[in-house]
Amino acid sequence: MLNQIILVGRLTRDITVNKSENGVKVCTISLAIPRSFKNSEGTYDTDFIDCVAFDSIAENTREYCSKGDIVGVKGRVQSRVIESDDKKETVMEIICEKITFLSSKKPEETE
């Protein structure tokens, strides 16, 4: 079996790193990825995909990247269940295993 995804897109906002309840550094980045084909109106649609990064990957991305930079993300798709008010909702997330800085201020990649 294989669960791997590779995305290349522009960051839609500046990055903030938070700490989880158990002390792990975490950030959510949003990538804008234009589709490679035009829609029926003759324009290119854009997909906005959220990705979650932890620890040093989160810190390095915050330090060296900002809104508008192009990054490559290698990761996996993960599902988790969120329970609230007697409702269960399954959320799909992209978990970053590696981020490559394609147009940013400093180093080229972080693991």
**Average pLDDT of 84-111?**
82
Identify the architecture of domain 5-36+44-106 in CATH.
Beta Barrel (2.40)
pTM over 0.85: no
pLDDT band at 14 (very low <50, low <70, confident <90, very high): very high
> Cα–Cα distance between 44 and 32 in angstroms, integer?
12
**pLDDT tens digits for range 72-86:** 999 999 999 999 888
Helix, strand, coil percent values for the chain (each to nearest 5): 10, 60, 30
Show me where the domains of the chain are located: 5-36+44-106
Report the SS3 class of residue 26: strand
